[in-house]
Amino acid sequence: MTSATISAPSGASSTATSARDRMLLAKDASRTVGLLSDAQKSDALRAIASALEAAFAAIVSANADDLARGRESGLADGLLDRLRLDDARVQALADAVRDVADLPDPVGRILDERTLPSGVSLQKVSVPFGVVGSIYEARPNVTVDIAALALRAGNAVVLRGGTAAQASNAALVAVMRGALSERGIDPEAIQTVDDFGREGANALMQARGLVDVLVPRGSAQLIETVVTESSVPVIETGAGVVHIVLDSSAPLEWAEQIVVNAKAQRPSVCNAVETVLVMRDAAERLIPPVAAALEDAGVTIHGDDTVQRLVPHAVPATDDDWATEHMSLDLSMRVVDDLDEALAHIRRYSTHHTESIVTADDERAERFLAEVDSAVVMANASTRFTDGGEFGFGAEVGISTQKLHARGPMGLPELTSTKWLARGAGQIRA
């Protein structure tokens, strides 16, 4: 198979003719990228941001091709929204890259230091992983976010962004590689295996020794496939079956504003709420006005028997609805007897991403924060705040729902590893 050639600045397209060859080039490039200074990495990212702004027209045009193909193939509205790039979204990508450039360098931090009885001094320092891989779907923003974070942390990156966004991703990768080349940095530090299709994804998942860590982002099915089929260590990011509990004491204004924001502001993203659980003794007070506010925002409510009685336009909820990440203007709503039942529902159906409670009862809020086992647990706030940018990390790699190494929104520190440095003066072990 021959590689695709992208019309772009010198250095923007790779001459490698196989996915493995590209990963070999990325591995070689990671050695030089890992030695770049703080200033060099920041300068490279600012060059990428400026190049993205200069390429608005080409990027949006490539994205229009992807959107047209997506509509023809019946791509869901939520995925089309994630796929879409316009001038404002490209500008937001450039701004996010500059934000990452301004973040403190995560490499070289002294995390621990001590002197052994022998006189040998030890330091534990943060170091780049080397090569970061990512497999994701219909999300061209991830192409830029992960590349920027990986480079800021001194890593090379290998991307598999999926067929739906192939033209958009090719344009973005070409722009970023061109910016690196113009700054005298090896452009092979940014690689895509999109044009190798499923073969490229398989090669990336089996690239143990070439790729140091793999981050999947997308549907539960994609993430499960990567976790089960990969020989490369995986940082698992989870689908977002996200819950909000409306407690008996929940202020109505808070309940309305938080639920509508969490569902309707951007329904296709993983931190959008999918299920609202309402305490039975507050159902009559809260459900009609909250449902009316949701319906005014275009939301279809899938409700249990009580919800259907209180909301005339609600459709019957099925057992599958409680486990569904709708990624659309659909929301599941259920009445529960008490906080114990709400917590039991969350334990059964949560993907351990984000859960929130709306309450005026501090004791119940603290119990919820303590007992819910998710990456981010909130009280009296919209689940839409679960985001690397909102948390002050700049762009994010993803929302990790695992418990090893990283959990929750992943920023720069999560793209570094550690090593111990030992300095002696001729000591030997007795």
pLDDT digits 0-9 by tens, 113-125: 999 999 999 999 9
pLDDT reported for residue 420: 95
The DSSP-derived string for 146-212 is HHHHHHHTT-EEEEE--GGGHHHHHHHHHHHHHHHHHTTS-GGGEEE-GGGHHHHHHHHHT-BTTBS
Residue range(s) in the chain whose domain bears CATH number 3.40.605.10: 19-235+397-418
* pLDDT of 300: 97
Question: What is the per-residue pLDDT for 4?
Answer: 35
Spatial strand order of the sheet with 416-423 comes to 110-115, 121-128, 416-423
- CA–chain centroid gap for 238, Å, is 9
Where does the pLDDT of residue 165 fall: very low under 50, low under 70, confident under 90, or very high at 90 and above? very high
Phi, psi of 315 (to 5 degrees): -100, 155
Given a cut of 80, is residue 393 above it in pLDDT? no
pLDDT value for 423 = 95
Per-residue pLDDT band at 282 (split at 50, 70, 90):
very high
19-235+397-418, what's its fold?
Aldehyde Dehydrogenase; Chain A, domain 1 (3.40.605)
CA distances to 111, 151, 154, 155, 421 from 36, in Å: 20, 10, 7, 10, 19
In the chain, which segments carry CATH 3.40.309.10?
242-385
Burial of 146 (0-12, 13-18, 19+ CB in 10 A): buried
Find out whether 329 and 300 touch, Cβ atoms under 8 Å: yes
In which band, very low, low, confident or very high, does the pLDDT at 66 lie, cut at 50, 70 and 90? very high
pLDDT per residue as tens digits for the range 195-239: 999 999 999 999 999 999 999 987 778 888 999 999 999 987 767
Euclidean distance between CA atoms 29 and 44, whole angstroms: 14
Identify the CA nearest to 318 among candidates 337, 299, 334: 334
Q: Is the pLDDT of residue 414 over 50?
A: yes
Torsion of CA 362, 368, 374, 379, to 10 degrees: -30
**pLDDT at site 6:** 36
pLDDT of residue 389: 77
Per-residue pLDDT of 295-334, as tens digits, reads: 999 999 999 999 999 999 999 999 999 999 998 999 999 9
Torsion of CA 172, 173, 179, 182, to 10 degrees: -140
Among 1-5, 66-70, 210-214, 264-268, the least confident range: 1-5
- Confidence band for 394, pLDDT divided at 50, 70 and 90: low
In this prediction, residue 9 carries a pLDDT of: 44
d(CA 190, CA 192): 7
Looking at the chain, the whole-number percentage of residues with pLDDT higher than 90 is 80
Rg of the chain's alpha carbons, rounded to an integer? 24
5: pLDDT confidence band, cut at 50, 70 and 90?
very low
Look at residue 149 in the predicted model and tell me its pLDDT. 93
Spell out the residues 6+ positions from residue 189 whose beta carbon is closer than 8 angstroms to its own: 26, 29, 30, 32, 33, 151, 156, 157, 180
pLDDT recorded at residue 1: 31
CA 189 – CA 147 distance, rounded (Å): 9
Burial of 134 (0-12, 13-18, 19+ CB in 10 A): buried
pLDDT in tens, 168-201: 999 999 999 999 999 999 999 999 999 999 999 9
- What is the number of other CB atoms lying within 10 angstroms of the CB of residue 419? 9
How confident is the model over 89-99, as pLDDT tens digits? 999 999 999 99
Quick one: tokens of 74? 């019946």
Pick one of 3.40.50.2300, 1.10.3720.10, 3.40.309.10, 3.30.465.10 as the CATH number of 242-385.
3.40.309.10
The answer on pLDDT for 398 being more than 90 is: no
Using the predicted structure, report yes or no on whether residue 162 has a pLDDT greater than 80: yes
- Half-sphere exposure of residue 283, counting CA atoms within 13 Å on the CB side? 20
Instruction: Characterize the bridge pairing of strands 408-410 and 110-115.
Output: unpaired
Average pLDDT, the chain: 92
Count Cα neighbours of 295 within 13 Å in the Cβ-side half-sphere.
14
Q: Which amino acid is at 254?
A: W
- The mean per-residue pLDDT over the stretch 353-375 comes to 96
CA dihedral 19, 157, 81, 244 (to 10 degrees): 120
Whether residue 2 is predicted with pLDDT greater than 80 in this model: the reply is no
Average pLDDT rounded to a whole number, residues 365-387: 95
pLDDT digits 0-9 by tens, 228-281: 999 999 987 767 899 999 999 999 999 999 999 999 999 988 899 999 999 999
Q: What band does 10 get if pLDDT is binned at 50, 70 and 90? A: very low
